[in-house]
Chain A
Amino acid sequence: MLTNRRGDEKMDINVLKEGRKLLTEYKYELGKVDKGYTNRTLYVNISENKIDSKPVTPIMKEKFVGGKGFGLWYLWNGTTPSTKWNDPKNEIVISGGPVCGITQYPGSGKSLVCSISPMTDIPIDSNVGGYFGPLLKFAGWDALEVQGKAEKDIVVFIDGNKGIVRIEEAPLEAIDSHVLAEQLTEMYADNEEDKRNVSVVTAGTGAEHAKMGLLNFSLYDPRRKVTRFKQAGRGGIGTVFRDKKIKALVVKFSGVKGNLNNPVDQGIINKAGIKMHKEVHDLDDNQNRMRKVGTGYSVEVMSAYDLLPVMNYQYGGHEDAKKIGPEVLINNYLTQGKEDGCWYGCSMACAKTADNFELKTGPYKGQHVTVDGPEYETIAGVGSNCGIFDPRAILEINFYCDTYGIDTISFGTSTAFVMECYTRGIINKEITGGLELNFGNFNASVELLHQMSRGEGFGVIVGQGIHRMKKLFAEEYGADSDFLFDIGMEQKGLEYSEYGSKESLAQQGGFGLTNKGPQHDEAWLIFMDMVNNQIPTFEDKAEALYYFPMFRTWFGLYGLCKLPWNDIAPANNKFTSEPAKIPEHVQNYLDVVYGVTGKRLNTQELVTESERVYNFQRIFNIRLGKGLRSNDKIPYRSMGPVTKEEYESRQERYDGQLKEFLNYEVEGKTTEEKMSVVRKYREEQYEKLTDAVYKRRGWNSNGVPTIEHLKELGMDLPMLIEVVKDLQ
């Protein structure tokens, strides 16, 4: 019997192994990475138990680069316009990209996961750390393409040193990630030292019943002697994973060195990397303190600037924000002084961990666990947005979201939505099964999660996401669907991530004019727009909504993390011509790409690379019925005050704007009258912004890429033209 890390749960690996049944085994020649590419993809069909090697073609590298580009390419080719998320044809593609796996530059171990999303019914791509992507590449594969649906629960195992892939039935292993990842790490590692050479991808019991399921990517932490995770959170890929009856994907590769990508110029990579390590060493303590608290550094700042979502985005700050702020996390919860990168060489080390955390609820109550995070998005989502300002509550929800395989952002935003519905009497205790879903009720919130895990109760309904709940509440409970559209913070089926965008038109576009739905991956322009007023005109905003989404999603083509780009800045950055772009770091990336691949890009070519894939994804959305202007509409809660209370909480500001921008006399007007004028104005502004952004992106007024623009990008591929030609 082996005792797991907490010493409170037994697992017998031999018993688990006895339950295994080999379905198929595939042997392959170990490859060698050449300039960042292995030049082949591992295709695994779990309906037919068929495993094969597919070549990575020159056109794939030229047009799609890698990572998310490869994922979307395979997904397009493997599915049809009628493929739904739970169709066996749907795929889960994991790919790092050519830079993935270098160890010198911070944030170079990312995997991109693509699938047709159960939340949005269009492609989702999710960027995740952990060791799986790099080890997959060193095992010989640029991408892993999984298709089909197994009959019974399976594990796919890739042995990157022996050149073996196996599909095995795995009936006895756990499903929840924190148990399963430990079982599999124990099972596949030869000894303690070997554990860091094993990485597993898992979901959880919640992902079986909710649509907002996520994937955990593991990394073994040799100091804590625990398996930790990073999450591919958005869009429900964990739900697809469990629907396919995959318990886990496992890769094992020992022998990681700093030059396994066989780069063209190791020296230029070393130079850029060491410069960044020094920059983080010298400046992080005085900038964002990423090494101490991770992304949670910004909670109080967001609150001070009226941007922290509070009570379903009604408000932008709260006096209790300090209770969940960075000082509390650093002093009371997050273990300090450990090397917390999610891949080797990440000196930014933002993957913070709360160790020895005692759970108060649920099936693991009383256990002392390691909680990964909490990230800013989690603190704001399951915390302030739900009116919860208790750090212990946030950590507990964070833990259960992760182990059950539930996206903290969709969970937080959806729970905030039902809490507002409950508070306003749209739903009641009868509907919620007795849960008093008032803002601030931690016990009710965490119970929703436990219900998602068990597949029962109102939690399963919340787990379907806001888009489906709006329909249900209107159809079954007679709710006002217009009001639900206003307060339900989702678009394209995906829940908003955790920033209030009411006072930044550019950020409204940053959420609304996106490919996969409102997330913070593409554009975060609030400070540029609202605080620093650097992009005052529609054209300025449109330029920012061209450049930043392209630039920021470029990282996903290469296996890079975006955070080291702008969560640390060189000391002289503010004196450069475009500080928001962090020009020195952009140059670092151009150097690193050259160092690995031999490809010399300039900044425009960098953006063009990304733009090709961005337009491909837009057309993929159109192919699946959701890539037009009507799909880019956003809920009014993200644009302005929906309710009287919201208006009156910021009355001075709104009254001032009415006078300043519209010359509207507010004296003697009721709040309702003023709200209606504000609303009309703001909705018009969003439409004007949409026009300007579409134009800048080379799209027509319906949001469709023009054939001329596709030609300019070298993306006038017949498969794309076929989709857009009748929409010109």
Chain B
Amino acid sequence: MKYLAKDDSKCIQCGLCEEICSTTYFKTNDVEKSCIHISKDGKPDINVCNQCGECINICPVQAIKRDKLGVVRINKKDCVGCFMCVGFCPENAMRQHDEFIEPFKCIACGLCAKKCPSGAIFIAEKEAKELAYAD
């Protein structure tokens, strides 16, 4: 199962990952539209989806599914914008922005990992049994 792995201790809080994420998916440099969030003060803290899949069971219309690579993805066409997945995410990593009526999340595309100057984020694989929540 593919996911964006992290090592908080290596993060230098440069924010490049946030910029890449939001410009890739929303054509704007806005941390509020980034799937990955980095703490601005204090110890580095990387907040991003770990593809655990709890949101899959929360969605009332089954708009959230795991793809064949194991990545949890939202089908925006079916999504009814209830944001329960946002409130129930154990990682607080499901995102929502008032300009959009659907939530958004990390799909482990790896673009941010490629540019990360310190190697704090990287694409990794884990076994299905390591997932916190079964589908």
Contacts and interface: CB of A to CB of B under 8 A. Distances in A.
B80 A270 contact: no
Interface string A257-282: 11100000011001001111110110
Given A256-B80, A274-B87, A277-B86, A339 B59 contact: yes
Interface in A317-346: 337-339, 341, 344-345
B83 A344 contact: no
A281 B88 contact: yes
A104 interface: yes
B60 interface: yes
A137 B114 CA distance: 48
Interface string B29-46: 000000000000000000
A196 B62 CA distance: 11
B98 A270 contact: yes
B23 interface: no
A222 interface: yes
A680 interface: no
Given A257-B80, A281-B87, A347-B88, A222 B61 contact: yes
Interface string B59-103: 111100000000000000001111110111000000010100110
With a 10 A CB-CB cut-off, give which of B58, B81, B102 has the most chain A CB atoms. B81
B22 interface: no
Contact of A104 (B59, B79, B82, B88): B82
Nearest to A259: B101
Given A339-B57, A345-B60, A258 B101 contact: yes
A223 B62 contact: yes
A103 interface: yes
A31 B79 CA distance: 22
B47 to A, nearest CB: 15
Given A270-B96, A270-B98, A280-B87, A345 B82 contact: yes
Contacts of B101: 257-259, 266
B61 A104 contact: no
Given A277-B86, A277-B87, A103 B98 contact: no
Contacts of A259: 81, 101
Contacts of B59: 339
Contact of B81 (A104, A267, A339): A104
Contacts of B84: 277, 339, 345, 347
A277 B96 contact: no
B89 to A, nearest CB: 9
Contact of B80 (A103, A266, A275, A281): A103
Given A339-B57, A339-B60, A344-B60, A276 B87 contact: yes
B123 to A, nearest CB: 29
A341 B83 contact: no
Contacts of B83: 104, 258, 270, 273-274, 277, 345
Contacts of A223: 62
Interface string A233-272: 0000000000000000000000011110000001100100
Q: Is the interface of A mostly helix, strand, loop or mixed?
A: loop
Nearest to A256: B80
Contacts, number: 70
Name the residue in A258, A267, A278, A338 with the highest tally of chain B Cβ atoms < 10 Å from its Cβ: A258
Nearest to B88: A281
B57 A258 contact: no
A50 to B, nearest CB: 35
A256 B81 CA distance: 9
A258 B57 CA distance: 19
Nearest to A223: B62
Given A103-B82, A258-B81, A347 B62 contact: no
Given A267-B98, A344-B80, A196 B87 contact: no
A269 to B, nearest CB: 9
B61 A344 contact: yes
A355 B88 CA distance: 25
Contact of B61 (A196, A337, A338, A347): A196
Contacts of A258: 79-83, 101-102
A122 B36 CA distance: 58
A48 to B, nearest CB: 38
Contacts of A196: 61
A486 B58 CA distance: 49
Nearest to B59: A339
Nearest to A345: B82
Contacts of B57: 337-339
Contacts of A338: 57
A280 B58 CA distance: 13
Contacts of A274: 83, 86-87, 96
Nearest to A265: B98
Interface string A393-429: 0000000000000000000000000000000000000
Contacts of A104: 81-83
A259 B57 CA distance: 23
A554 to B, nearest CB: 23
B88 A277 contact: yes
A222 B58 CA distance: 13
A266 B62 CA distance: 23
A256 B82 CA distance: 11
A278 B62 CA distance: 20
A341 B60 contact: yes
A24 B131 CA distance: 56
Contacts of A103: 80-82
Contacts of B61: 196, 222, 344
Nearest to B81: A258
Contacts of B62: 222-223
A257 B81 CA distance: 6
B80 to A, nearest CB: 5
A338 B59 CA distance: 10
A211 to B, nearest CB: 36
Contacts of B58: 339, 347
A133 to B, nearest CB: 15
A278 B98 CA distance: 17
Contacts of B81: 103-104, 257-259
A259 B82 CA distance: 10
Nearest to B94: A274
Interface in A327-373: 337-339, 341, 344-345, 347
Interface in A576-597: none
Contacts of B80: 103, 256-258, 344-345
A197 B10 CA distance: 49
Contacts of A275: 87
A278 B87 contact: yes
Given A196-B61, A257-B101, 20 more contacts: A103-B80, A104-B81, A257-B79, A257-B81, A258-B80, A258-B82, A258-B101, A259-B81, A266-B98, A273-B87, A274-B96, A277-B86, A280-B87, A339-B59, A345-B60, A345-B82, A345-B83, A347-B58, A347-B84, A347-B88
30 contacts: A103-B80, A104-B81, A196-B61, A222-B61, A223-B62, A257-B79, A258-B82, A258-B102, A259-B81, A270-B83, A270-B98, A273-B83, A273-B87, A274-B83, A274-B87, A274-B96, A277-B84, A277-B87, A278-B87, A281-B87, A338-B57, A339-B57, A339-B84, A341-B60, A344-B60, A344-B61, A345-B60, A345-B84, A347-B84, A347-B87
Closest 8 A-B residue pairs measured CB to CB? A258-B81, A277-B87, A345-B82, A267-B98, A103-B82, A278-B87, A258-B101, A344-B80
